[in-house]
Amino acid sequence: MKRMICISLLLMFLTGCYDKVELEQQSYNVAIGVDQTDKEGTYEFTFQITNPEVGTTSGGGSDEEPNETVTTNGSDILTAMNTVNSFVSKRMTLDHTKVIVISEELARSGDFLQIIQAASRTTQIRRATQIVVSKESAAEFLNNIKPKMETRTHKYFQYMITRATQTGIIPDASVHRFFQITEGDADLFLAIYATNEHEEKKGEGYEDQYVAGEIPQEGGSDTQFMGSAVFKEGKMIDTLDGQDTRIAHVLDYTLDMDELLSTYPDPIRPEYRVAADYIQKTPAEVEIQYNKNKPTKIDVTVSFQIEVLAIPSLVNYSQNSAHQELLRKAIITDLESKANKLIKKTQEEYGSDPFYWSLFIRDQFIDVPAYEEADWNKKIYPNADITVSFNLKRLAFGKMLNDTNLSEVRD
Amino acid sequence: MKDYKTLTTREMFALVTLLVGIKFADTTPALLAQKGQNAFWMIPIISFLIIFPSFLLLIYLLKRYKDKNLVELLEKVLGRFFGKSLGFLLFILAYATLIFDSRNYVEQIKLLYYPQSPTLIISIVFMAVIFFCAKRGFEVIGFTSWIGLPLIKFAVFLLAALIFKEAVWNRIFPIFGSGVQVIVMEGVKNSSIFLEFFLLTIAYTAFKDTKFFRRGSYFGGLFVIFEIILFFLLYTVIFDYNSIDKIAFPFHEITQYINFGDYFTNIETFFMVFWLFAGFMRFIILLYLITWIFGAVFNINEFEPLLFPFAFLALMIGVIPENAIVNELIIRDLLLDISTPLFVLFPFILWIVALCKGELKKT
Amino acid sequence: MFHFFKKAKKANTQSKPQKNNDPIRSSLKHNTEHIKQLFSYGTNKDFSYRDLIAKYNQKEMSLFYYSSIVNGDKIYEAIIRPLLEAEGNELKNVVTVESLTEIKDFDEVIEHINSGKAILFQEGTAIAFSIDVAQFQFRSIGKAENESAIKGPQEAFTESLNVNISLVRKRVHDKQLITESKQVGKRSKSEVNFLYVSDLVNDDILNNLKKRLDEINTDSVRNVELLEQYIEERPYSIFPSIHYTERPDKAASYLEDGYIIILMDNSAACLVVPVTFWSFFHAQEDRYLRFLYGNFTRAIRLFAFYLTTMISATYVGITNFHSEMLPPDLLLAITASRERVPFPLIFEVLIMEVAFELIREAGIRIPNPLGPTIGIVGALILGQAAVEANIISPIIVIVAAVSGLTSFAIADVSINFTVRITRFIFIAAAGTYGMFGLAGAFLVWFMYAASLKSFGVPFFSPLAPYFKSPGDTVFRKAIKNEIWRPGNLLPKDLRKKRDSTSK
């Protein structure tokens, strides 16, 4: 007995250490970029590796770069990781990868699905990793990310994406969601759209009617996260601007959004707009009535509240009930028209919806074969008869009763 | 002090829960989801309904024949030769389960956490731990289960709570997945996922009072089925029907997905520790019970020295299959299909024989 | 493993010191000569004797004693003076002492003289009189230094059996409290006293204890610390199976729950049997503090238990095998601090842990006046200097300090060693296979503990196996709600709370 214990203990000591890696022998990758190359089946992979010594007090390395961005060619992420080791000294781990960046070019080519599937075979890439589509090449995008405040890029990605998702201007685009929607073969997947290249939009846009790169900006980091890239069956087909992304948030009950500050047309003085906080406590209610041979009826009801933040026109909406009624109508009409516009676009151009509505029709089928036969993407959604109604539950005016009358002040 | 039996309902509950309840965290869901798609969570209900009457019947017989364990009961009812043969058959099937399931666990550990290590080494460590623990005896296994159970279940329900916000409940529709027929067939065929219930009856007389055994197994059974269904449902609503059959280890996939706030993003190792405890406990119990059955069949009273050869043999056979997929989808599936009719039917055979012999008349 | 013990026992050959079973004769001269020879009178400086002629019967008498262990005043006041001056018809009416025993042979004479009695021989009488005049020197009752408490009695046992018994009796006013004694040791005989409440104690345990005391076959057992090692079941086990405490109030509360306590001269502590894991885990103060406060301490101590055994091992396991689990910022901080360290991480941890053990050991052995230096030197060298020399990374200092400091929360000496040894086992396990190795090692360790029995009582009872008990395991109930005694001891009277109406 005693001898056996000794032997097994010895064995344990002899055998261990197979997977043992010292921390400093690893390098930690925070972002992966994927680009297309001229050759089919070969892609350009960019890895952004953090430098652990930057941002610590342990001295040394203070004049080193906060991260190292390297690019190489390969057929998939894992083998590329090995190739990278010819010029990166340490073993690379992807466990802390926050984002996967793909260039718009690659996304539109449809090869992305293969790449990401190969990656999901390893345990290293987490399902919560976010998918970002960059307007320029991913290598360029990652190389040009220069956060002004955060020393380490993983923090930058984390804060940036969390915050932007809260405001609804970019969607939650985790790898998990990508697989659910793409493999589910219904609905559209929205990925985060971002860029470093600025190209100001002509004409006027309101606060969220931009996609990344179009937002007028001065100072700060060049990188903009705004809007979303639409994926159908793993292939990018279009971009949505911030506003449409927000509408998608409103209509999709699987997406959460904390804050939606937006402006609405002022019904009395149309040259101004009313700023308001849109609050949605309950997810949109979707009712689908499936008809096999005629268009399916989809009724969507959104209950929401509005808290008015600013009325630049100084019209007295808070105390005048007739005015208030006008404002109510104006907000509802505005939202409905935006939503209808988006829905129409998705029905006609995309042939599927980015709202995950296919979930609501499933309970009308008894089993999977029947459901797949009905074909949401091809048959049901494009022909569906959709009505969206917004239901304003409460209109509040914040803590001020009324605005100061400008003419009185200036008198 | 004199030796006295100390195991009560709570230990039995813990044993059942650990022995059967961990099924949701291995490859069983992947196996069932291959055919059941998003309705695979119903399969255990059907299996349970199929197997539970048999189990109740067995318990009834045990109760009638007072103070006999499984093998003794078999011998008493079927006679020495047939009783022992059936006992041996049960042993073989159970041992096969042990072998392939343990390989399965080793494979999970290797694939998910120790990709560089050879399977053999992990198997050795795994089996060594199981052997040393099983050596401590059934009572100690019982105590440990009871003390460990709250911790393990805490981790499990924490996981359920964390993943809950990711669930999209509409994904359980279409309600019957790949079709009612498929679900029922699979449920019947895979009833033997609950075969451990039968193995536990070898320990029928090891409890302070046999009523503790019965009570513990009822409560444990209900809890287990609840737990399994809860988790299968969670897998369904998180992965949806198209992905669920591609994922070999849904439990680990979930632990990798969740995060605990923004700062603790990769917390799968935390759950892995508790999963390991549960896995160890399961195989400790299994190994002990199987050796016990063997000892009972061959009239070996001091069967504990046999633990070592059995553990060793299981280790050696376990490493033979080439990869996890073969092991899981072919061998284990086959094994479940073979053992189902035996386990479902043998209590009925016993009952009929006992009835014919007239031993069940009121005395 | 414990068959080693059995073997060792058998090997112990029967070499008893020579017997002096000579009876006492009536000739005083013979007796005197014999006893002088036995005790090497003349060489043995403190062996004294006095001849006198008693006034009451005019007979010659001799008095023998060790002057170093008797009370000289008492001998004079109670024996010599009455014998020289008082009238009377019998010896027992003359001497004014509280105990006077008649003894018959020299074997007894030796024993009595050794235990501080004066022996009086009388011309023409074939018996000797033993008069208790013992006065062994011992420390006065002090504060409990090793098991200190803020709230609660401060008295500790001291190195005197009688005082210790008095300290216990002071607390347990129960006529059923029995002090039984047994002699152990073949050459130097010492008295072992075991106390129990006779209508509570489980006789199986009591008989088991007596049997083990009888089985002791050695020349001398000086104190309970040594006795502990003679009566324990598993001398090679990493877990203690007997509880050792210096607090009489703790001893009293054990007595009232049906435990047995063992006292000896020369030990400022008692042994408690049987024992469960909880006796090591609890401090007496937990019960003196109010329900919530007491349980808060328990929670802290449980956490300390976890930290001290696990934190270093967890750190090794996670950083070496599961680096993905660390939050990125922490991961990068640790990595950065390790960039210039020349050793593998497990080596770093071991350096610090061993260093901590060294400081600790040195701190105990160091002469008192030098005490304060050790802290400064230790902290300075191990902390700052080692980090600055890039021998270890700063985070290791934190880990080792936490694991070392938390070990002080576990007051019991024995279990403290268990925990410290366990820590190294776990570090090794985690270093070989990360959390998988650690989980396996922990399970084996835990199941080993669960399989232990102390005098037939399972180590983790009454939690598992379950027994009716005061519910005082990890946490405790409000004192008013404690109805049962610990049922795992199978006491004769299980119910603690008499009044069944109050609820």
Q: Average pLDDT, stretch C424-450?
A: 90
Chains A and C: how many Cβ contacts under 8 Å?
83
What is the model's pLDDT at position A86? 85
Asked if residues A228 and A170 have their Cβ atoms less than 8 Å apart, the reply is: yes
Question: What pLDDT score does C272 carry?
Answer: 92
C298 touching A (Cβ < 8 Å): no
**Calpha distance B281→B140 (Å, rounded):** 11
The per-residue pLDDT of chain C, averaged, comes to 85
Distance from CA of C173 to the nearest CA of A (A): 49
Percentage above 70 pLDDT, chain A: 89
Which band of pLDDT confidence, cut at 50, 70 and 90, is reported for residue C347?
Answer: confident
Rounded Cα distance between A200 and A208, Å, is: 14
Calculate how close chain C gets to B7, using CA atoms only, in Å: 7
Q: Does B10 touch chain C (CB under 8 A)?
A: yes
Q: What is the pLDDT of residue B28?
A: 82
Query: Who among A16, A50, A93 is closest to C323 (CB)?
Result: A93
The domain in which residue A381 lies consists of: 259-411
Of A243, A272, A294, the residue at which a domain comes to its end is A243
Q: In this complex, which of C321, C333, C340 lies closest to A19 when CB atoms are compared?
A: C321
Check residue B325 and give its pLDDT.
67
Query: Nearest-CA neighbor of B253 among B274, B232, B268?
Result: B268
Q: How many Å apart are CA A45 and CA A102, to the nearest integer?
A: 9
Closest CA–CA distance from residue C406 to any residue of chain B (Å) = 22
Residues A102 and A186 in one domain: yes
CA C149, distance to chain mean position in Å, is 18
What does the alpha-carbon distance between residue C242 and residue C430 come to, in Å, rounded to a whole number? 30
Asked whether residue A4 is domain-assigned, the answer is no
**CA distance linking residue C246 with residue C268, whole number of Å:** 6
List subunits contacting chain A, requiring 3 or more Cβ pairs under 8 Å.
B, C
Inter-chain residue contact A56 with C333, CB threshold 8 Å: yes
Against chain C, the chains showing at least 3 CB pairs within 8 Å are: A, B
CA neighbours closer than 13 Å in the CB half-sphere of residue C70: 29
A137/A33 same-domain check: yes
Max CA distance (Å), chain A: 102
Chain C residue whose CA is closest to A23? C335
| Residue C38: predicted pLDDT | 85
Average pLDDT, chain A: 80
The answer, yes or no, to whether residue C279 has pLDDT greater than 70, is yes
Give residue A257's pLDDT band: very low, low, confident or very high (50, 70, 90).
confident
Residue C238's contacts (CB-CB under 8 Å, 6 or more residues apart) are C418, C421, C422, C448
A132, A168: one domain: yes
Task: Name the residue of chain C whose CA is nearest to B143's CA.
Answer: C464
Cross-chain residue pair A28–C428, CB shorter than 8 Å: no
Contacts 24+ apart (CB under 8 A), A160-167: A160/A223, A160/A225, A161/A98, A161/A99, A161/A130, A161/A192, A161/A225, A162/B262, A164/A192, A164/A225, A164/A226, A165/A257, A166/A257, A166/A258, A166/A259, A167/A257, A167/A258, A167/A259, A167/A260, A167/A261
The Cα A21–Cα B42 span in angstroms is 43
Tokens of A59: 């001295």
Asked if A8 is an interface residue toward chain B (Cβ–Cβ < 8 A), one would say: yes
Least confident of A2-6, A117-121, A337-341, C244-248: A2-6
Residue A221: inside a domain:
yes
Check whether residue A204 and residue A290 sit in a common domain.
no
Would you give the distance in Å from CA C307 to the centre of its chain?
Answer: 26
Give yes or no for residue A363 having a pLDDT over 70.
yes
pLDDT at residue C11, as a whole number: 41
Average pLDDT in the C276-289 region? 89
pLDDT at C503: 39
Question: What pLDDT shows up at residue C440?
Answer: 92
Using only C-alpha atoms, chain A has a radius of gyration, in whole angstroms, of 26
3-state secondary structure chain B: CCCCCCCCHHHHHHHHHHHHHHHHHCCHHHHHHHHHHHHHHHHHHHHHHHHHHHHHHHHHHHHHCCCCCHHHHHHHHHCHHHHHHHHHHHHHHHHHHHHHHHHHHHHHHHHHHCCCCCHHHHHHHHHHHHHHHHCCCHHHHHHHHHHHHHHHHHHHHHHHHHHHCCCCHHHHCCCCCCCHHHHHHHHHHCHHHHCHHHHHHHHHHHCCCHHHHHHHHHHHHHHHHHHHHHHHHHHHHHHHHHHHCCCCCHHHHHHHHCCECCCECCCHHHHHHHHHHHHHHHHHHHHHHHHHHHHHHCCCCCCHHHHHHHHHHHHHHHCCCCCHHHHHHHHHHHHHHHHHHHHHHHHHHHHHHHHHHCCCCCC
Whether residue A118 sits in one domain with residue A236:
yes
3-state secondary structure of C220: strand
Residue with tokens 């013979």: C30
**What are the tens digits of pLDDT across the range A65-87?**
778 888 888 888 888 888 888 88
Report yes or no: A272 at the B interface, CB cutoff 8 Å: no
Q: Quick check: is A10 in a domain?
A: no
The string of DSSP codes covering C258-306 is T-EEEEETT-SSEEEES--HHHHH--THHHHS-HHHHHHHHHHHHHHHH
Residue A288 parent element (H or E) = strand A285-289
Confidence category of residue C207, pLDDT binned at 50, 70, 90 = very high
Q: Do C436 and B125 touch (CB under 8 A)?
A: yes
Closest Cβ opposite residue A184 in set B179, B240, B266? B240
Contact yes or no for A368 and B173 at CB 8 A? no
Q: Do A363 and B179 touch (CB under 8 A)?
A: no
Check residues A409 and B159 and name the one with the higher pLDDT: B159
pLDDT of residue C17 exceeding 60, the answer is no
Binned at pLDDT 50, 70 and 90, residue A2 comes out as: low
Q: Residue C229 gets which letter from DSSP?
A: H
Residue of A nearest to C388 (CA): A58
**In angstroms, rounded to a whole number, what is the distance separating the alpha carbons of residues A52 and A74?**
26
Q: Is residue A9 part of a domain?
A: no
The predicted structure's pLDDT at residue A400: 66
Q: How many separate domains does chain A show? A: 2
At residue A179, φ and ψ (nearest 5 deg) are -65, -45
A362:B246 CB<8 A: no
If asked whether residues A318 and A200 sit together in one domain, one would say no
**Would you state the pLDDT for residue A201?**
64
Chain B hits for A374, Cβ within 8 Å: none
pLDDT for residue A352 is more than 90: no
Query: Given this model, what pLDDT does residue C13 score?
Result: 42
pLDDT band at C33 (very low <50, low <70, confident <90, very high): confident
Task: Convert the pLDDT of each residue in A129-159 to its tens digit.
Answer: 888 988 888 888 888 888 877 778 888 888 8
> Which pLDDT score, from 0 to 100, does residue C14 have?
42
Distance of CA B242 to the CA centre of its chain: 27
Do residues A206 and A354 share a domain? no
Cα–Cα distance, C378 to C405 (Å, whole number):
14
Flag if C332 and A24 touch (Cβ within 8 Å).
Answer: no
> Mean pLDDT over residues A364-376, rounded?
79
Residue C82, strand partner residues: none
Q: Which residue from C320, C324, C428 is facing A22, i.e. has the nearest CB?
A: C320
DSSP 3-state of C23: strand
CA distance A361 to A357: 7
CB contact under 8 Å between C440 and B280, yes or no, is yes
Tell me if A53 and C336 make a contact (CB, 8 A cut-off). yes
Q: What is the 3 state secondary structure string of A113-164?
A: HHHHHHHHCCCCCCCCCEEEEECCCHHHHHHCCCCCCCCCHHHHHHHHHHHH
CA dihedral A72, A77, A83, A85 (to 10 degrees): 100
Query: Is the per-residue pLDDT at C1 higher than 80?
Result: no
Q: Return per-residue pLDDT of chain B as tens, 363 residues.
A: 445 677 888 888 998 888 888 888 888 888 888 877 778 888 888 888 888 888 888 888 888 887 788 888 888 888 888 888 888 888 888 888 888 888 888 888 888 888 888 888 888 889 989 999 998 888 889 888 988 899 999 998 898 888 887 777 778 777 777 778 888 888 888 887 888 888 888 888 888 888 888 888 889 888 998 998 888 888 888 887 777 777 888 888 888 888 777 777 778 888 889 999 999 999 999 999 999 888 888 888 888 888 888 888 888 888 877 666 666 677 777 887 788 888 888 888 888 888 887 766 654
Partner A contacted by B120 (CB < 8 A)? no
A121 and A270 belong to one structural domain = no
pLDDT band at residue C16 using 50, 70 and 90 as cut-offs: very low
CA distances from A126 to A404, B86, B292, B324 (A): 53, 48, 43, 22
Contacting residues for C130 by C-beta, under 8 A, at least 6 apart: C100, C101, C102, C103, C108, C109, C112, C117, C118, C119, C120
CA distance C460 to C451: 9
Question: Domains along chain B?
Answer: 9-357 (1.20.1740.10)
Answer yes or no: do A278 and A235 share one domain.
no
User: For position C499, what pLDDT does the model report?
Assistant: 59
In a domain? residue A252: no
CA distance C21 to C108: 9
Has residue A21 been placed in a domain?
A: no
Contact indicator for C184, C216 with CB cutoff of 8 Å: yes
C237 in A contact zone (CB under 8 Å): no
Question: Among residues A243, A272, A302, which one ends one of the domains?
Answer: A243
Question: What ipTM did this prediction achieve?
Answer: 0.91
Statement to judge: residues A96 and A145 lie in one domain: yes
Of C323, C336, C344, Cβ closest to residue A56: C336
Residue C270: band (very low, low, confident or very high) from pLDDT cuts 50, 70, 90: very high
Band (pLDDT 50/70/90 cuts) for residue C210 is very high
A118 lies in the same domain as A215: yes
Mean pLDDT in residue range C160-175: 90
- If asked whether residues A222 and A297 sit together in one domain, one would say no
CA distances from A269 to A79, A263, A324, A330 (A): 62, 14, 13, 12
Asked if C455 lies within 8 A of B267 by C-beta distance, the reply is no
A114 in any annotated domain:
yes
pLDDT bracket for residue C297 (50, 70, 90): very high
Task: Enumerate the residues of chain C whose CB falls inside 8 A of the CB of residue B105.
Answer: none
Judge whether A22 lies within some domain: no
Q: What's residue A59's pLDDT?
A: 53
- Read off the pLDDT band of C295 (50, 70, 90): very high
Q: Would the pLDDT of C9 be above 50? A: no
Last residue of a domain, one of A183, A210, A243: A243
Token duo for residue A301: 């009801």
Name the residue in chain A with its Cα closest to that of B259. Answer: A128
Give the pLDDT confidence of A9-56 residue by residue, as tens digits.
655 555 456 778 888 888 888 888 888 888 888 888 889 888 887 766
Please report, rounded to a whole number, the percentage of residues in chain C having pLDDT higher than 90: 21
Instruction: Report residue C5's pLDDT band, with 50, 70 and 90 as the boundaries.
Output: very low
Binary contact (A15, C432; C-beta < 8 A): yes
C-alpha distance from B181 to closest chain C C-alpha (Å): 42
Distance of CA C144 to the CA centre of its chain: 13
**Structure confidence at residue A204 as a pLDDT band (50, 70, 90):** low
The CATH number for A350's domain is 3.30.300.210
Task: Give the SS3 label for residue C112.
Answer: helix
For residue B139, the chain C residues in CB contact (below 8 A) are 465
Cβ count near B68 (within 10 Å): 20
Q: CB B136 to CB C447 under 8 A?
A: yes
